[in-house]
Amino acid sequence: MRVALFVTCLADTLFPRVGQATTRLLERLGHEVVFPPAQTCCGQMHINTGYQRQALPLVQHFADVFEAAEAIVAPSGSCVGSVRHQHASLARRLGHPRLAERSAALAAKTFELCEFLVDVLGVTDVGAYFPHRVTYHPTCHSLRMLRVADKPLRLLRNVRGLELTPLPDAEQCCGFGGTFALKNSDTSTAMLADKMGHVLSTRAEVLTAGDASCLMHIGGGLTRLSAGTRTLHIAEILASTESGPGGAVPLAVTAEKQGRVAPSARNAGADREAGS
Amino acid sequence: MSKVFVGMPAHAPAGVGALHASESFPAAARTALADTQLRRNLGAATTTIRAKREAVVGELADWEQLRLAGQAIKAATMARLDEHLIRLEEEVTKRGGVVHWARDAAEANRIVTGLIQATGADEVIKVKSMVTQEIGLNEALAEAGIAAWETDLAELIVQLGHDKPSHILVPAIHRNRAEIREIFLREMPGVEASLADEPQELAMAARAHLRRKFLTAKVAVSGANFAIAETGTLVVVESEGNGRMCLTLPDTLITVMGIEKVIPSWTDLEVFLQLLPRSSTGERMNPYTSMWAGITEGDGPQEFHLVLLDNGRTAVLADEVGREALHCIRCSACLNVCPVYERTGGHAYGSVYPGPIGAVLTPLLTGVLENPSLPYASTLCGACFDACPVRIDIPSILVHLRARSTEQTRKPPSAEAIAMTLASWVMSSPRLFGWAGRAMRAGRLLARRGRIRRLPPPLSAWTAARDAPSPPRQTFRQWWRHRDGGTP
């Protein structure tokens, strides 16, 4: 299948390794990945902060960029949630019925990575290898907007070497909430503290999830505490193999090395591929 | 006054009642978050009620159908609200009750005060009622020299503590038993100093106090959970039986209800009596369900008044997205599952209606500019929508109200509005967006060991508690362009 990758603005600018892993994974499964270079942002931050009029050009732009795609895949539950559940109604509210129709048509062929793998491709074993103790946080929008249910867990259970440990109170929000983390930073921090407590109680090496945004939040809290758990997007785990392009994501990188050798270590095989 | 509809219906007025927050949510939340007793009580109570609710909801194979039925009944009722209210008035009147229409809190308070004064009473007993808190009835009565005694145990604790309720169902959730003992000793007449902080002793002290009131009061004021239009029947559901005493012992009963509480028929009630207790207390059925229609000679109150309150509800009805909030049956399930509420408690919302439903209902009733921080008091996690027995899409209403808020603000644009407009402009152009992504690389200068520990305002709110990621050397689109030797 020819898959149009919607990498999301956050992964594009801050977490390129998430997009790289998604690309490697889909290509390894025998699919063609295309990256429409005109893509930018779904507008979710604008919509959820109350700036619908400013989001309208982004909704329009998304439709222009992806209209021709056979299937659109994004490594994010909340961005797909916005495309699927907000774009059409926003266009309608602001008096653009034609755009609303186009957005509704796009919504039907836009998928979050895990649901695309399980529902569309019918794969639950992607042939990944990741010999680490991992816990999984179901992000709110993947859970309650998209209803991905246990699809990510089914994918993780089939990763060789991976020891999956349940996260207590997993379904409770981590406190990110987009601009909520800034506007209500105290409440957000209180929620984060509880989430981190649960994550650390699992003694997992890695916390994974389907949204780079929530992981940026929880991960930012964990590194601030110099905690012994790191965060990885689920695409990065599913893309890991013993020998395939990129190789297993190395975990045995000390913080010091990370600082000096920087992205080549953190971005692992992805940067190697890029020839850096 | 013209009888022709010439504009938008009025919002709930400021200066009366408990809908207008005096402090923004983030500021009030900061105080609440530091209260360790509150955090512990809330955590324990919400966890317990959540588990109970899940267990009893799980027993019903048709729970989702019941929710759909509840939603459909409410939507259909709201679409013909005027007709149902007129029918209700006719049926109540036919059975010896008197119906009063109050457009806002001040008018409702005037009506109730006048009715009590006409009986010559200077004290009334009250059934737990959110709507009378919404309109600030107790304060209005106090001004008129009438003492109003709350009879719900938790409401009594709140009242004696000169406090405000913090939860729809468990108004004194923020108090522990030592604090309750101390309040009783200080405020309740005739309490012995030997009173222990044991739940049973505290309950018995409250019982002795309340019995004296039940047996002497001539007038009671109640709210209503439902009003059945076809027979003019009012319904109150409760756990303690104190409501039943208020509804049956005094000579005069005055019931204040929001106009959205009307349902057309008894068959509709069947749905809600299954949805409400399971969602609220996590019980299959609540202990006391009292129903009455008008008056019955020689049995119970001989005078019955029903005050139908608007106080902004018609304005909510005029809001195509927001009107769903009027479907609320005040079960509090959304509070108990809300991760924000669980940590801040109800006072932070500054309104009688706290939690997710309060974050939409309060600004809808008052107009969003009166409570501009409330629609933002949520991460949009969606747990409230899943728990709501009548499927109110609270997250969508929150997003809608946020848009209303930014669009109605007439001040010069805020820094946030300018940033959002700028971001929209950059993100609408792939070229500018690509440049911006590359420009972010400058942020690497701030990074140590792959992370940024301190950013300038407003991003300092982020780095106060979390590291920010160091921007990568290469954005994804740069990597993509180079991955196949430069072919895009």
E strand or H helix at B233: strand B233-238
Total domains in chain A come to 2
Tell which of A6, A14, A59 to mutate to test the B interface (max B CBs under 10 Å): A14
- Among A120, A141, A158, residue at a domain's last position: A120
Q: Is the minimum CB–CB distance between B50 and chain A shorter than 8 Å?
A: no
| Average pLDDT of the residues in B437-457 | 91
Is A239 in contact with A246 (CB distance < 8 Å)?
Answer: yes
**Which structural domain, as residue segments, surrounds residue A149?**
133-269
> Cβ of A273 and B472 within 8 Å?
no
Residue A165 one-letter amino acid: T
Tell which of B33, B39, B400, B427 to mutate to test the A interface (max A CBs under 10 Å): B427
Is B348 in contact with B400 (CB distance < 8 Å)?
Answer: no
E strand or H helix at B148: strand B147-150
Residue A132 one-letter amino acid: H
Q: Which residues of A touch B474 (CB under 8 A)?
A: 16, 263, 271, 274, 276
**DSSP bridge pairs for B469:** B451
Q: Is the minimum CB–CB distance between B418 and chain A shorter than 8 Å?
A: no
> Cβ of B26 and A187 within 8 Å?
yes
Distance CA A105, CA A116 (A): 17
Backbone angles phi, psi at B99, to 5 degrees: -105, 135
Residue of chain A minimizing CA distance to B454 = A224
The counts of H helices and E strands in chain A are: 17, 8
Q: Can you tell me whether residue B374 is helix, strand or coil?
A: helix
Give residue-wise pLDDT tens across range A147-189: 999 999 999 999 999 999 999 999 999 999 999 999 999 999 9
> Cβ of B465 and A224 within 8 Å?
yes
- Among A95, A120, A145, residue at a domain's last position: A120
Q: Which pair of tokens denotes residue B319?
A: 């809001």
Nearest residue to B153 via CA among B207, B225, B218: B207
With a cut of 70, say whether residue A143 has pLDDT above it. yes
Backbone angles phi, psi at B131, to 5 degrees: -70, -35
Q: Which residues of B touch A212 (CB under 8 A)?
A: none
Say if residue A30 is in the same domain as residue A54.
Answer: yes
Instruction: Kindly report the nearest CA distance between residue A164 and chain B, in angstroms.
Output: 24
> Cβ of B465 and A57 within 8 Å?
no
Is B236 in contact with B91 (CB distance < 8 Å)?
Answer: no
Q: Which residues of A touch B478 (CB under 8 A)?
A: 16
Q: Which residues of B touch A258 (CB under 8 A)?
A: 449-450
Nearest Cβ partner for A220 among B30, B339, B467: B467
Distance CA B449, CA B454 (A): 13
Nearest Cβ partner for B420 among A46, A173, A175: A46
Cβ-proximal residues to B168 (8 Å cutoff; 6+ apart), any chain: B130, B330, B331, B332, B335, B346, B353, B354, B355
Total domains in chain B come to 2
Say if residue A257 is in the same domain as residue A193.
Answer: yes
ipTM exceeding 0.90, yes/no: yes
Give residue-wise pLDDT tens across range B298-354: 999 999 999 999 999 999 999 999 999 999 999 999 999 999 999 999 999 999 999
Residue B5's pLDDT is 58
How many Cβ atoms sit within 10 Å of the Cβ of residue B414? 11
- Among A120, A151, A181, residue at a domain's last position: A120
Distance CA B172, CA B155 (A): 7
Range of weakest confidence among A193-202, A255-264, B99-108: A255-264
Backbone angles phi, psi at A134, to 5 degrees: -130, 140
Nearest Cβ partner for B405 among A50, A182, A224: A50
> Cβ of A38 and B430 within 8 Å?
yes
Say if residue A69 is in the same domain as residue A167.
Answer: no
Is B304 in contact with B294 (CB distance < 8 Å)?
Answer: yes
Distance CA B70, CA B76 (A): 10
On whether residue B51 sits in a domain, the answer given is yes
Give residue-wise pLDDT tens across range A9-58: 999 999 999 999 999 999 999 999 999 999 999 999 999 999 999 999 99
With a cut of 70, say whether residue A250 has pLDDT above it. no
Distance CA B358, CA B377 (A): 10
Say if residue A65 is in the same domain as residue A193.
Answer: no
Q: Which residues of B touch A187 (CB under 8 A)?
A: 26, 29, 33, 340, 343-344, 377
Give residue-wise pLDDT tens across range B382-398: 999 999 999 999 999 99
Residue A147's pLDDT is 97
Range of weakest confidence among B80-89, B156-165, B216-225, B279-288: B156-165
Residue of chain A minimizing CA distance to B450 = A259
Model confidence at A257, in pLDDT bands (50, 70, 90)?
very low
Instruction: Kindly report the nearest CA distance between residue A234 and chain B, in angstroms.
Output: 17
Give residue-wise pLDDT tens across range B106-145: 999 999 999 999 999 999 999 989 999 999 999 999 999 9
Residue of chain A minimizing CA distance to B341 = A187
Say if residue A157 is in the same domain as residue A82.
Answer: no
Say if residue A116 is in the same domain as residue A160.
Answer: no
- Among B290, B314, B338, residue at a domain's last position: B314
> Cβ of B383 and A258 within 8 Å?
no
Q: Which residues of B touch A190 (CB under 8 A)?
A: 33, 343
| Average pLDDT of the residues in B361-365 | 98
Query: What is the CATH classification number for the domain harbouring B259?
Result: 3.40.50.10420
On whether residue B330 sits in a domain, the answer given is no
Cβ-proximal residues to A171 (8 Å cutoff; 6+ apart), any chain: A138, A143, B383
On whether residue B149 sits in a domain, the answer given is yes
Q: Is the minimum CB–CB distance between B458 and chain A shorter than 8 Å?
A: yes
Provide the angle, in degrees to the nearest 10, between the axes of the packed helices B394-408 and B355-366. Answer: 40
pTM flag (> 0.90)? yes
Q: Average pLDDT of chain B?
A: 94
On whether residue A175 sits in a domain, the answer given is yes
Q: Is the minimum CB–CB distance between B422 and chain A shorter than 8 Å?
A: no
Say if residue B228 is in the same domain as residue B90.
Answer: yes
E strand or H helix at B333: helix B333-337
Residue of chain A minimizing CA distance to B25 = A184
Say if residue A139 is in the same domain as residue A251.
Answer: yes
Is A73 in contact with A26 (CB distance < 8 Å)?
Answer: yes
On whether residue B319 sits in a domain, the answer given is no
Give residue-wise pLDDT tens across range A83-123: 999 999 999 999 999 999 999 999 999 999 999 999 999 99
> What is the distance in angstroms between the CA of the first residue and the CA of the last residue of chain B?
69
Residue B9's pLDDT is 84
Q: Is the minimum CB–CB distance between B407 and chain A shorter than 8 Å?
A: yes
> Cβ of A258 and B450 within 8 Å?
yes
Cβ-proximal residues to A52 (8 Å cutoff; 6+ apart), any chain: A46, A90, A93, A94, B403, B407
On whether residue A227 sits in a domain, the answer given is yes
Residue B484's pLDDT is 67
Whether the link from the prior residue into B372 is cis, omega within 30° of 0, is: no
> Cβ of A185 and B458 within 8 Å?
no
Is A76 in contact with A211 (CB distance < 8 Å)?
Answer: yes
Say if residue A258 is in the same domain as residue A197.
Answer: yes
**DSSP bridge pairs for B258:** B309
On whether residue B376 sits in a domain, the answer given is no
On whether residue B386 sits in a domain, the answer given is no
Give residue-wise pLDDT tens across range B141-168: 999 999 999 999 999 999 999 988 888 8
The counts of H helices and E strands in chain B are: 22, 12
A31 by Cβ neighbours in 10 Å (0-12 / 13-18 / 19+) ranks as middle
Q: Which residues of B touch A13 (CB under 8 A)?
A: 436-437, 440, 471, 475-476
- Among B314, B342, B375, residue at a domain's last position: B314
Nearest residue to B130 via CA among B394, B411, B324, B346: B346
| Average pLDDT of the residues in B84-102 | 98
**Which structural domain, as residue segments, surrounds residue B463?**
415-483
On whether residue A275 sits in a domain, the answer given is no
> What is the distance in angstroms between the CA of the first residue and the CA of the last residue of chain A?
30
Give residue-wise pLDDT tens across range B231-280: 999 999 999 999 999 999 999 999 999 999 999 999 999 999 999 999 99
Instruction: Kindly report the nearest CA distance between residue A129 and chain B, in angstroms.
Output: 24
- Among B274, B294, B314, residue at a domain's last position: B314
Tell which of A32, A52, A137, A187 to mutate to test the B interface (max B CBs under 10 Å): A187
Instruction: Kindly report the nearest CA distance between residue B270 and chain A, in angstroms.
Output: 29
Residue A274's pLDDT is 36
